[in-house]
Amino acid sequence: MEKEQRTYDETIEQHEDAQSEQASEEQVENEATQQEEKDELTLAYEKIAQLEAKLAETENRFLRLHADFDNYRRRVRLDMEAAEKYRAQSLVSDLLPILDNFERALQVQVEDEKAKSLLQGMEMVYRSLIEALKKEGVEAIESVGKPFDPHVHQAVMQVDDQNYEPNTVVEEFQKGYKLKDRVIRPAMVKVNQ
C-alpha cells in the first residue's frame, strides 16, 4: 500500500509538474501572443499615423490649389473687366494726333468766306469727334492754373513767374487725355518754380 501511495503521489506530482509545465508553456505562449498583438497594434497605429499625415498633406495641397484657382479666376475676371473698360484705348491713342491737328487747324484765322465755311465744317466734325470720345469715357486733362501732378502732367519747361503759385502749371503745350481713370497721354506743360 505504501508503494501504491508513493506511486500515486508520484503520479500526482508528475501530473502537477506537467500541468505546471503546460501552464508555463501556455503563459509563455500567451505572452508571445500578447507581444505579437502589441506589435501588430503598434504597426497599425504607425500605419494610421502615416495615413493621417498623408491625408493632412493632401488636404493642405487641395486647399492651396483651391486658393490658387480662386486667385486665378479673380485675376482673369479683373483682366476681362479691364479689357472691357479700356477696350477703346488703342483707338483713342491713335485718334489723339488727329485731335491735335484739328485743334491747330481751328486756330488758323481766315478771312475768305469759303475758308470760313470750311472752318465751320471742321468745327462740327471736331465737336462730333469730341462727343464720341466723351461717350467712351475720354476726357481732356485740365492743366493751366492747376497744381503740377506728375501722374497727369509731363513738365517740359520751368519758369519763375510771380503771377502763379510755386509748382503750378503755367502753360500747356499739348493736351493730355484720360480714358476713364487711366492716363492715355500726359499733358506737356510749363511749370512755375
What pLDDT does residue 1 have?
55
Q: What is the pTM of this model?
A: 0.62
Lowest model confidence (mean pLDDT) among 15-24, 32-41, 85-94, 160-169: 15-24
* Mean per-residue pLDDT, 99-111: 90
> Per-residue pLDDT tens for 108-146?
888 889 988 999 999 999 999 999 999 989 999 999 999
Please tell me the distance from the alpha carbon of residue 92 to that of residue 108, in angstroms, as a whole number. Answer: 25
Residue 7, pLDDT > 80, answer: no
Does the domain spanning 86-192 belong to CATH 2.30.22.10? yes
* Contact between 150 and 183 (Cβ < 8 Å): no
